[in-house]
Amino acid sequence: MADNGNTGFFSRLREGLSKTRRGFVKNLEEMVVGERVISREFYDELEETLIAADMGPVFAANVIEEMKNRAKRNELDRHDALMNVLNEYMLSILEASDKPLRIPKDDLFTVMVVGVNGTGKTTTVGKIASRLKQEGRSVMAAAADTFRAAAVEQLDVWCRRADVPLIKHPTGGDPSAVAYDAIRAARSRGINVLLVDTAGRLHTKTNLMDELKKIKRIMARELPGAPHETLLVLDAVTGQNALNQARMFNNEIGVTGLVLTKLDGTSKGGIIIRIADELKLPIRFIGIGEQADDLRPFDGREFVEALMSSG
């Protein structure tokens, strides 16, 4: 956090995580401070607190087991030692998923963005397009969510604002045809990054997954290796449902990276730890607001510092 931009984002991240911190860290500190004898009741209460923050039973069990081991070695003589164990575990998990999206500058790099409706998927495409354009990349977007006219209009607004070309078809058209045209257009114009927005809801889950698989096949046929990134957008507010969605999309179509949005609107920001712990997928970006610069590359250490900072 050396520059003012990073410092400003850390402050916004800390503020964005305030609901999680109030419901989680505050409870922890009240439990830990003044604890002289670490009893079974303490561990039970700690486990409930961790699970309530959506960090998951596996994470809770591992943290408590480590605390018990250290207690046997008389290494938990101060309350901050208990908090240090928790910090260390969160860091070890999140730093393993702390893998920024690396985009080569010479060739066309394609990103297929997936997720259910309501997660902020289309907005995320617009924000990434804006960010990449500011970095000096040549960017194109494709509106392959042809089932929702509002999604196309929303993406069009973001693209015009960022001066990014948008490939779109009439509402109800074939999403795969949009992806096909977008790749051909991107190659002919020498575009560096193509972002493909996709539908989040069809008549049934099977229809949705079949449609996404078809888009992937068409992209791979037109450009070997495409899509180079399959980015899943998850709404942190939905907690356990976000984890279930991640499992479903990963099992059905394969996910190479995650975006966690709306961390500023939930008291269960701990779901990011559970998702990272259980799925072992890279977390590419997190979102803490509506502005373009409120979507940032994920930094595990920064996240833990913002979550656990007091005051």
Task: Give 218-249 pLDDT, tens digit per residue.
Answer: 999 999 999 999 999 999 989 889 999 999 99
Q: Do the beta carbons of residue 246 and residue 271 sit within 8 Å?
A: no
Tell me, what's the pLDDT at 49?
87
| Least confident window among 211-220, 227-236, 266-275 | 266-275
Task: Give 28-84 pLDDT, tens digit per residue.
Answer: 777 766 555 677 888 898 899 888 888 889 999 999 998 888 888 777 766 678 788
Task: Give 119-147 pLDDT, tens digit per residue.
Answer: 999 999 999 999 999 999 999 999 999 98
Confidence tier at 175 by pLDDT (50, 70, 90): very high
CA distance linking residue 232 with residue 124, whole number of Å: 10
The mean pLDDT of 176-186, rounded to a whole number, is 98
Residues 6+ apart with CB under 8 A from 130: 158, 161, 162, 164, 292
Torsion sign across C-alpha atoms 267, 230, 255, 156:
positive
Task: Give 95-127 pLDDT, tens digit per residue.
Answer: 999 999 999 998 999 999 999 999 999 999 999
Domains and CATH numbers, the chain: 4-96 (1.20.120.140), 109-298 (3.40.50.300)
Other residues' Cβ atoms within 10 Å of the Cβ of residue 95 = 15
Confidence tier at 3 by pLDDT (50, 70, 90): very low
The mean pLDDT of 158-181, rounded to a whole number, is 96
Tell me, what's the pLDDT at 247?
95
Tell me, what's the pLDDT at 309?
78
Tell me, what's the pLDDT at 60?
92
Tell me, what's the pLDDT at 245?
94
Q: Structure tokens of 219?
A: 């992209």
| Least confident window among 130-139, 197-206, 208-217, 230-239 | 197-206
The answer, yes or no, to whether residue 5 has pLDDT greater than 90, is no
Tell me, what's the pLDDT at 1?
32
CA distance linking residue 36 with residue 88, whole number of Å: 22
Q: CA dihedral in degrees (153, 154, 157, 162; nearest 10)?
A: -130
The answer, yes or no, to whether residue 191 has pLDDT greater than 90, is yes
CA distance linking residue 115 with residue 95, whole number of Å: 24
CA distance linking residue 54 with residue 244, whole number of Å: 13
* Of residues 133 and 293, more confidently modeled: 133
The mean pLDDT of 281-294, rounded to a whole number, is 89
The percentage of the chain sitting over the pLDDT mark of 70, rounded to a whole number, equals 93
Q: Structure tokens of 42?
A: 């303490």
Predicted model pTM: 0.91
The position carrying tokens 């559970």 is: 274
HSE (side-chain half, CA atoms, 13 Å) at 40: 0
Mean pLDDT over all residues of the chain? 89
